A and B are shown apart, each in its own frame.
Chain A
Amino acid sequence: MSALRILVPIKRVIDYAVKPRINKTQTGVETVGVNHSTNPFDDLSIEESVQIREKKRAPGGVEDICVFSAGPPKAQDNLRNALAIGADRAIHVALKEGEDLEPLSVAKMLKLVTEQQKSNLVILGKQSIDDDSNQTGQMLAGLLGWPQATQACGIEFGAGDMVSVTREVDGGVETVRAKLPLIITTDLRLNKPRYANLPSIMKAKKKPMEKKTLADYGITSERRLKVLKVTGPEARQGGGKVEDVDGMISKLKELGAI
């Protein structure tokens, strides 16, 4: 089997523990002064790549794990963290603060990166939790003409470059099989991302990080889609108010609920 050269694209997004607020102009979610973190699905991709290497799951071994992010300067922190978890090197494409790419632009750029890095496996999050597009992996597969296995909850490597991917579907799981090169997108139950430990955080500082711009890939951040308006979910209708716990219990008794 060929040795794996894994590409892991990651995105810096609003920390999922933060409650998102809609900005004043209603064009998106407020990102200024809000904590950010790596898109949780991407944490799974990083962890999975490192586990494939550590547990020697691929018969041909893992030759390279490259993490990639197009994002603001702070995205380098997220790349460093991925390096601390166990990726070998990173590529950062600098975007201006607030600049955002549509999935198609990202996919086009990733196509070039995949070719340049000679990757034969790309593991992406199934979606990023800021725009929830769930498109990039699929578009990339289309552009490259590679097979894709989305929403993976299990990945196994067999002989002759065969990869079996278990995916979560409504009402159960489905197992698909394809040959490398391949696109995989990750779902929640794939693994449990680890904490980066101190020695590796320190080591990660010395790992290579290439710095690029959109122009290097011939990409612009032009938009094909226009956001008309972003609004929050409708406020819940207020219910009745009981005075205290006992009031609630008697109310529940009255309603025959307990």
Chain B
Amino acid sequence: MASRPQLAPVLRRLGRAPAHLRRPAALQQSVSLPTRCFSSSRPRFFQRTAVVAKSTNFTTETYPDIKRDSRFAQLTPEHVDYFRGLLGSESAVIDGVTKHEAADDIEPFNSDWMGKYRGRCQLVLKPGSTDEVSKILKYCNDNMLAVVPQGGNTGLVGGSVPVFDEIVVNMGRMNRIIDFDEVSGTLVADAGCILESADQFLASKGYIFPLDLAAKGSCHIGGNLATNAGGLRLLRYGSLHGTVLGIEAVLADGTVVDDLCKLRKNNTGYDLKQLFIGAEGTIGIITKVSILCPQRPQAQNVAFFGLESFEQVQLAFRAAKGQLSEILSAFELMDEGSQALVRQVTKNPSPLEGRYPFYCLIETSGSNADHDGEKLQSFLEDVMEKGIVADGTLAQDETQVKSLWAWREDITESLSHLGGTYKYDVSIPLKEMYQLVEDTRARVDAAGLLGDSDEFPVRAVVGYGHMGDANLHLNVATRRFDERVEKVLEPFIYEWIAERQGSISAEHGLGLMKKKYIGYSRNPTMIGLMKNIKNTFDPKGILNPYKYL
């Protein structure tokens, strides 16, 4: 099974990868066990319909005001020769500069997961070691060649694909586990390790990766650090700024920054590794990661319930914190709109009989399933009796745990099956969190863009997210591209958030999508300091240009 995650990219390339869905994958796993063949009757939920890439417009067409920076050199066959000589292996260089037939092979590296951004890159490099990354960057820096660092290419803000002809440096070949300390739980691994593979390795040792997200079957741990991904269990394990102990990275000029510390405490000078976390590949390429992993919980319980109002969601959240405090590991919110779309795409029967405006998923992690189960059940009875929760269910076994989680985790993927989605990943004080969805929906509706039939470009305005972290995903699901939609949404949403001192990007980052809007969440002094940092680490600006700042 260990090799399954690595297969994800190739499946995707063939245009049919449900690569991000661990639920069906996990069910599939049991198919291979001879005595458990009955699970084969469970259908796979998703078939990715077609390669989105070909139909996607080039980013340069969608955003004609972005101009190629003329300081950057054009790629020549001589450049390609250099990289070929450097990397040796045939598979490490995908060359579209001299070989036109390579265009199909390059396409997946040019297009983002959402099928929203598409670059015109001609060359993909896949280094196998830090030394190779260093030599690649030094050469690019010396020759003014722009570079896009790329992990699993699951980023949601257009940061992981080129805009023009930047070279893609894909980290997929650097995927070794280097060291694991079974006493402290410190994992040292290459940046290109797929999150799920790293977690499976840790599972065999009784540990867990302190981050989990629906894209785990494809995303890299280096990419997770680069985006400072938050994910499903931030509530429990905290942010990567706390769990990452050390980083090895290569700067634009090829300098290797060895800060691969394995210590929990190290107050000697500025904590530079923190800058790479969330830098989205703009100041260096992360090559190795050292991270503190917690003990894997022996018991996980999951409950799913329906609520009548957002007021009640908040009451439930407070009650959960109060009664489940030390075992609460996730508190996720989903509105009926988002669940309706998952039902429509997966055709799964919903876990609750009735329909409610809101649903929450609670997960507890602890060391004793019975003990936690009792706690969770008495919590549920309490919120039920007080009328906070309208209906709910408790997973009775592992399979139900997984299928309940799927209702949360399949949202992103389900939406992507129905057409393009405008995604806003925001943080707003809890009290007003859902108001943003309602206000946006009203605005899109008032503009005459929202409706059930084909004449309306917008299918639905939905909200879901990590309630526990006050992090809302506002998604506007469209039937087709229509420029009126974006005009109605932006800058309206950003202004709405700025008025409440919220963040316009809670966990997905800035990338290309939000570069213009950073001012809504950061003041000019902060932005000025950030630019200084960028210039110090990457004076020629070859790393991930046109994005971030």
Contact = CB atoms under 8 A, between A and B. Distances in A.
B435 interface: no
B396 A198 contact: no
B29 A38 contact: no
A24 interface: no
B381 A202 contact: yes
Contact of A197 (B105, B392, B400): B392
Interface in B394-412: 394-400, 402, 404
A195 B393 contact: yes
Contact of B89 (A15, A33, A129, A243): A243
Interface residues of A, number: 37
B33 A20 contact: yes
Interface stretch (A93-101, A221-229, A245-253): A245-253
Nearest to A29: B35
B269 interface: no
A243 B396 contact: no
B140 to A, nearest CB: 21
Contacts of A197: 352-353, 391-393
Contact of B91 (A16, A35, A196, A246): A246
Interface string A136-177: 000000000000000000000000000000000000000000
B239 interface: no
A181 interface: no
A195 B352 contact: yes
Contacts of A201: 377, 393-394
Interface residues of B, number: 48
B305 A198 contact: yes
A245 B33 contact: no
A18 B398 contact: yes
B351 interface: yes
A15 B89 CA distance: 45
A17 B397 contact: yes
Given A38-B396, A246-B94, A198 B38 contact: no
Given A38-B397, A195-B393, A16 B352 contact: no
A12 B397 CA distance: 11
A15 B39 CA distance: 12
A84 B392 CA distance: 12
Contacts of A249: 10, 13, 105
A97 B91 CA distance: 55
B9 interface: yes
A211 to B, nearest CB: 19
A17 B396 contact: no
B380 interface: yes
Contacts of A192: 349
B126 interface: yes
Contact of B402 (A17, A129, A245, A248): A17
B194 to A, nearest CB: 12
B9 A245 contact: yes
Interface of A: 15-20, 33, 35-38, 40-41, 81, 129, 132, 188-189, 192, 194-199, 201-202, 233, 242-250
